[in-house]
């Protein structure tokens, strides 16, 4: 006699054909299983495997979105290979990033980095934003490359996204890449300055005043005596004071 | 003379402490600066001297809210004398926010050296925040200066902290420079410094009017039963006029509002009974305002005594609550004296619509209607209508609306209708009636302001009362 399908089996069967407008109650056993597997590695692996099997077949956007939202909670390196191919599909790229950005395994970062080199330009901003959110230091050369290329090619939005990302990543290489960035496009130049200030603030918050001071000093020196750059000089001076206060306090 | 010597000694000792502190701090700063080129205090000082206000503000923010410590304060304080007046004031403001008393000596030095009155006033304000009992003499001296220093000193003496500050100020109010004593009493009142209270009744008998008025103000705010006898003595000695009214108000406040007011009222009554007829006449209006059953008994006796009836009636007509209206109506019915009739009617016009916790709004309106029926002159009816807006009910509104078409009374009725319409809840709850009445006001009033207000209320707008 065939084994009776469990509630979870039924829910996954429903998810395979799920689309927007349908009653999401059918998926409730999956929601409950995601909650229940917390702290239970075996259940979690089994659940992750169900999602990866499901994502290997054609699905609606609604089903992919639902699966990615759950994988960002329970996903491990095991699901990366399933999610990575979705990154260059405009329809699913954002949700795949949504999951990979939050799965704290190096393989997820590798997948995003690899995709940055292959996805079309309109999806690159998303890859950069996800790598920045992961503060992925290994992606700095690639993002710095995007910044340089986009600045030359007048791709302002892409260049601004790359500058912002480097400001969030805040590694020494990111800081150097920002310092070396050269753009005559005002929006990009402003984004680079903002990113450098953000990087310095991040370093200050991480109690690294010497590194932060170097950025502030460079910005203050470049802005000194230029009326148009007074706000930059003010911000940098405020930062220098904060660095000095932190140094004195420690 | 003694105060002056004490002040000089205090200043010298402060100056020595400041110079030593500044010297030590400057050396510490130099050492720190040599080892660490990014000394925050040095940076803040450099910013302080910038011509650009935005950069100065960065330095001032650091002084006010960061770079803590006495040593840093001494270094900042040493800059005070090097800055132009405007920037001195900025730095003084930063010191007030910083709140470190280590800057007090430099601020005192600036106060004594500056030729700019605004700088001196700001230095005084700063001492009010940073100083302690040591600064009392200096700030007292500033009270004798013209504004803005005097106003700043007054405020500074109110905010000045320190264990002996209140005592020093109270002593100065008792025995100090006569011209400053009234101000000092007001300052003590603002500080809620009650230790001076027992002395104040005696001040009411002194020659200086300003001192007597200040004492009356203080007593009105904080006086209790213990001060009533002295206040009565002061009241009896004060000539009729504004000053006596002020003191009478203070006695009423002590006997109806302040701590132990029931006991104070009792004490006043005792004092009243112990005085002679002439003095009682002076005290009667105050007795009337204080009220109470025993006082009412005394007044009834006076009214019954033909030789003192006028005084009794006077007290009755200033009574604080409606409990005397029955007596007033009864007396009106039997009196044949026209002046007395008018006096009683005036009392009813005053008391009937008056807000009163002892009766409800309906009863107040009933009293108004009864009083209206007794009025024989339009000016009395006008006064009553004018006061009826104190009863904020739709019934009172309907009562005054009834007079909108009476040419002799319509202006007073318009006034009350508009005042009642000012209360949005009342107006909105009876919108149709109010709209109709406001249309009538607009049609008949000759008062432009009333017409404007009526139009605003009709449009659902509010109106801001012009300040007197």
Q: Could you tell me if residue B417 is inside a domain?
A: no
Collect all residues with Cβ–Cβ distance below 8 Å to B254 and sequence separation of at least 6.
B219, B220, B223, B224, B225, B227, B228, B231, B261, B264
Residue with the larger pLDDT of the pair B289 and B410:
B410
Residue with the larger pLDDT of the pair A11 and B310:
A11
CB contact under 8 A, A241 and B39: no
Per-residue confidence (pLDDT) for residue B33, from 0 to 100: 35
For all residues of chain B together, what is the average pLDDT?
90
Per-residue confidence (pLDDT) for residue A227, from 0 to 100: 87
- Of all residues in chain B, what percent carry a pLDDT higher than 70? 92
**Token match 């650091």: residue?**
B62
CB contact under 8 A, A237 and B40: no
Mean pLDDT of B88-103: 96
Q: Could you tell me if residue B431 is inside a domain?
A: no
Across the A:B interface, residue pairs with CB atoms under 8 Å apart total 37
Written as six digits, the tokens of A228 are 């148009």
Single out the residue of A165, A154, A158, A250 nearest to residue A209, CA to CA. A250
CB contact under 8 A, B43 and A240: yes
Chain centre distance of CA B314? 29
What is the ipTM for the molecules in this complex?
0.78
CB contact under 8 A, B43 and A241: yes
Tell me if chain A has a CB within 8 Å of the CB of B43. yes
Mean pLDDT of B363-371: 96
Collect all residues with Cβ–Cβ distance below 8 Å to B113 and sequence separation of at least 6.
B81
pLDDT at B320 over 70: yes
Tell me if chain A has a CB within 8 Å of the CB of B45. no
Cβ contacts of A19-25, under 8 Å, gap ≥ 24? A19/A60, A19/A62, A19/A63, A20/A60, A20/A61, A20/A62, A22/A62
The band of B464, judged by pLDDT with boundaries at 50, 70 and 90, is: confident
Q: Tell me which of A244, A247, A249, A250 to substitute to probe the interface with B (most B C-beta atoms closer than 10 Å).
A: A244
- Of all residues in chain A, what percent carry a pLDDT higher than 70? 99
Q: Tell me which of A242, A245, A247, A250 to substitute to probe the interface with B (most B C-beta atoms closer than 10 Å).
A: A245
**DSSP assignments along A84-118, one per residue:** GGGGG-TTTHHHHHHHHHH--SHHHHHHHHHHHHH
Q: Residue B144, SS3?
A: coil
Per-residue confidence (pLDDT) for residue B341, from 0 to 100: 94
Per-residue confidence (pLDDT) for residue B9, from 0 to 100: 53
Q: How far is A244 from chain B (nearest CA, A)?
A: 5
Report the CATH number that the domain containing residue B96 is assigned in CATH.
1.25.10.10
Number of helices (H), then strands (E), belonging to chain A: the values are: 14, 0
Single out the residue of B100, B173, B175, B110 nearest to residue B143, CA to CA. B173
Q: Could you tell me if residue B26 is inside a domain?
A: yes
User: Contact A136/A169 with Cβ under 8 angstroms?
Assistant: yes
Buried/exposed B357-381: b ≥16 CB within 10 Å, e otherwise: eebebeebbebbeebbebbeeeebb
In chain B, the number of structural domains is 1
A158, containing H or E segment: helix A156-169
Mean pLDDT of B423-442: 96
Instruction: Report how far residue B311's alpha carbon sits from residue B286's, in angstroms, rounded to the nearest whole number.
Output: 12
Mean pLDDT of B222-247: 94
User: Contact B299/B312 with Cβ under 8 angstroms?
Assistant: yes
User: Contact B144/B179 with Cβ under 8 angstroms?
Assistant: yes
Q: How far is A163 from chain B (nearest CA, A)?
A: 28
Mean pLDDT of B102-131: 96
Per-residue confidence (pLDDT) for residue B24, from 0 to 100: 42
Q: Could you tell me if residue B397 is inside a domain?
A: no
Q: How far is B62 from chain A (nearest CA, A)?
A: 8
| Residues in chain B, overall count | 468
The band of B37, judged by pLDDT with boundaries at 50, 70 and 90, is: low
Mean pLDDT of A113-122: 94
Written as six digits, the tokens of B302 are 């006076």
Of the partner residues B36, B54, B58, the one whose CB lies closest to the CB of residue A241: B58
Mean pLDDT of B54-64: 96
Chain A residues in contact with B54 by the CB 8 A cut-off are 230, 234
pLDDT at B156 over 90: yes
Chain centre distance of CA B337? 42
Cα–Cα distance list, B54 to A70, A190, A223, A231, B82 (Å)? 50, 21, 15, 9, 19
CB contact under 8 A, B67 and A237: no
For all residues of chain A together, what is the average pLDDT?
94
CB contact under 8 A, B54 and A234: yes
Of the partner residues A230, A234, A248, the one whose CB lies closest to the CB of residue B40: A248
- The Cβ-side half-sphere exposure at B83, using a 13 Å CA radius, reads 25
Chain A residues in contact with B55 by the CB 8 A cut-off are 234, 237
Q: Tell me which of B31, B35, B38 to substitute to probe the interface with A (most A C-beta atoms closer than 10 Å).
A: B38
CB contact under 8 A, A234 and B58: yes
pLDDT at B460 over 60: yes
Single out the residue of A173, A216, A164, A214 nearest to residue A191, CA to CA. A164
Chain A 206-245, CB below 8 Å of chain B: which residues? Answer: 213, 230, 234, 237-238, 240-241, 243-245
Q: Could you tell me if residue B107 is inside a domain?
A: yes
Chain B residues in contact with A234 by the CB 8 A cut-off are 54-55, 58
Chain B 72-111, CB below 8 Å of chain A: which residues? Answer: none
Q: Could you tell me if residue B18 is inside a domain?
A: yes
CB contact under 8 A, B55 and A237: yes
Single out the residue of A106, A100, A35 nearest to residue A68, CA to CA. A100
Q: What is the dihedral of CA B337, B343, B345, B346, to 10 degrees?
A: 160
Instruction: Report how far residue A241's alpha carbon sits from residue A244's, in angstroms, rounded to the nearest whole number.
Output: 5
CB contact under 8 A, A247 and B38: yes
pLDDT at B292 over 50: yes
Q: Could you tell me if residue B13 is inside a domain?
A: yes
Tell me if chain B has a CB within 8 Å of the CB of A247. yes
Q: Could you tell me if residue B285 is inside a domain?
A: no
**Which residue range is the domain that position B187 belongs to?**
1-193
Q: What share of chain B is helix, strand, coil (3-state, %, to 5)?
A: 75, 0, 25
**Token match 């033909």: residue?**
B306
Instruction: Report how far residue B112's alpha carbon sits from residue B177's, in angstroms, rounded to the nearest whole number.
Output: 21
Tell me if chain A has a CB within 8 Å of the CB of B44. yes
pLDDT of B42-57, one tens digit each?
999 999 999 999 999 9
CB contact under 8 A, A244 and B38: yes
Q: Tell me which of A246, A248, A249, A250 to substitute to probe the interface with B (most B C-beta atoms closer than 10 Å).
A: A248
Chain B residues in contact with A245 by the CB 8 A cut-off are 40, 62, 66-67
Of the partner residues B40, B55, B62, the one whose CB lies closest to the CB of residue A234: B55
Buried/exposed B32-48: b ≥16 CB within 10 Å, e otherwise: beeeeebbbbbbbbebb
Mean pLDDT of B186-207: 94
Orientation angle between helical segments A28-36 and A61-74, nearest 10 degrees: 10
- Of all residues in chain A, what percent carry a pLDDT higher than 90? 91
- Lowest mean per-residue pLDDT among A54-68, B273-287, B371-385, B449-463: B273-287
Per-residue confidence (pLDDT) for residue B35, from 0 to 100: 37
Tell me if chain A has a CB within 8 Å of the CB of B50. no
CB contact under 8 A, B40 and A241: yes
Collect all residues with Cβ–Cβ distance below 8 Å to B37 and sequence separation of at least 6.
none
CB contact under 8 A, A213 and B38: yes
Cβ contacts of B79-83, under 8 Å, gap ≥ 24? B79/B45, B79/B48, B79/B49, B80/B106, B80/B107, B80/B109, B80/B110, B81/B106, B81/B109, B81/B110, B81/B113, B82/B49, B83/B48, B83/B49
């Amino acid at each position: 006699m065939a084994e009776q399908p469990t509630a979870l089996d039924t829910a996954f069967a429903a998810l395979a054909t799920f689309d927007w407008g349908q009653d999401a109650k059918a998926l409730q056993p999956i929601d409950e299983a995601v909650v229940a597997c917390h702290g239970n590695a075996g259940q979690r692996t089994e659940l992750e495997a169900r999602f990866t099997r499901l994502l290997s077949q054609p699905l609606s956007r609604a089903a992919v979105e639902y699966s990615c939202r759950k994988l960002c909670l329970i996903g491990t390196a095991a699901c990366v290979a399933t999610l990575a191919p979705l990154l260059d599909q405009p329809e699913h790229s954002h949700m795949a990033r949504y999951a990979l950005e939050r799965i704290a395994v190096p393989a997820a970062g590798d997948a995003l980095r690899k995709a940055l080199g292959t996805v079309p330009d309109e999806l690159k901003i998303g890859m950069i934003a996800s790598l920045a959110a992961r503060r992925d230091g290994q992606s700095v050369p690639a993002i710095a490359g995007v910044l340089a290329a986009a600045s030359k090619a007048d791709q302002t939005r892409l260049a601004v996204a790359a500058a912002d990302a480097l400001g969030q990543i805040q590694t020494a290489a990111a800081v150097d890449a920002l310092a070396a960035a050269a753009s005559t496009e005002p929006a990009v130049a402003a984004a680079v300055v903002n990113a450098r200030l953000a990087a310095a603030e991040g370093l200050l918050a991480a109690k690294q005043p010497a590194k932060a001071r170097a950025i502030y000093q460079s910005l203050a020196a470049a802005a000194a005596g230029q009326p148009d750059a007074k706000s930059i000089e003010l911000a940098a001076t405020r930062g220098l004071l904060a660095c000095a206060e932190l140094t004195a306090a420690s | 003379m003694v105060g002056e010597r004490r002040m000089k000694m205090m200043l010298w000792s402060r100056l020595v402490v400041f110079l030593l502190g500044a010297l030590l701090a400057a050396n510490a700063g130099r050492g720190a600066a040599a080892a660490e080129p990014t000394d925050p205090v040095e940076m803040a000082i450099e910013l302080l001297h910038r011509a650009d206000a935005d950069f100065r503000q960065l330095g001032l923010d650091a002084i006010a809210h960061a770079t803590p410590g006495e040593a840093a304060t001494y270094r900042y304080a040493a800059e005070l004398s090097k800055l132009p007046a405007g920037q001195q004031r900025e730095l003084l403001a930063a010191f007030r926010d910083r709140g470190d008393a280590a800057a007090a000596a430099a601020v005192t030095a600036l106060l004594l050296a500056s030729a700019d009155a605004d700088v001196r006033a700001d230095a005084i304000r700063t001492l009010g925040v940073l100083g302690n009992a040591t600064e009392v003499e200096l700030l007292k001296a500033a009270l004798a200066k013209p504004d803005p220093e005097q106003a700043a000193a007054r405020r500074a003496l109110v905010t000045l902290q320190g264990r002996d500050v209140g005592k020093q100020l109270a002593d100065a109010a008792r025995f100090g420079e006569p011209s400053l004593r009234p101000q000092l009493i007001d300052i003590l009142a603002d500080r809620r410094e009650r230790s001076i209270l027992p002395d104040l009744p005696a001040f009411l008998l002194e020659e200086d009017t300003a001192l007597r008025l200040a004492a009356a103000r203080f007593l009105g705010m904080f006086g209790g039963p213990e001060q009533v006898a002295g206040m009565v003595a002061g009241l009896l000695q004060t000539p009729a006029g504004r000053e006596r009214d002020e003191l009478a108000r203070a006695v009423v406040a002590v006997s109806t509002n302040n701590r132990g007011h029931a006991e104070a009222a009792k004490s006043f009554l005792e004092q009243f009974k112990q005085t002679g007829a002439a003095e009682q006449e002076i005290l009667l209006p105050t007795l009337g305002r204080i009220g109470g059953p025993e006082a009412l008994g005394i007044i009834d006796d006076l009214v019954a005594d033909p030789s003192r009836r006028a005084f009794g009636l006077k007290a009755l007509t200033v009574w604080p609550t409606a409990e005397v209206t029955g007596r007033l109506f009864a007396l009106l019915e039997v009196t044949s004296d026209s002046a007395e009739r008018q006096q009683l009617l005036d009392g009813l016009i005053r008391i009937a619509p008056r807000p009163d916790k002892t009766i409800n709004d309906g009863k107040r309106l009933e009293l108004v209607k009864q009083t209206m029926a007794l009025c024989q002159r339009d000016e009395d009816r006008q006064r009553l209508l004018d006061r009826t807006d104190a009863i904020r009910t739709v019934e009172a509104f309907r009562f005054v609306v009834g007079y909108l078409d009476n040419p002799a009374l319509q202006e007073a009725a318009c006034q009350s209708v508009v005042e009642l319409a000012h209360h949005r809840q009342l107006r909105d709850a009876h919108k149709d009636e109010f709209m109709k009445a406001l249309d009538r006001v607009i049609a008949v009033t000759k008062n432009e302001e009333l017409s404007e207000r009526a139009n605003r209320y009709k449009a659902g707008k509010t109106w801001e009362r012009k300040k007197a």
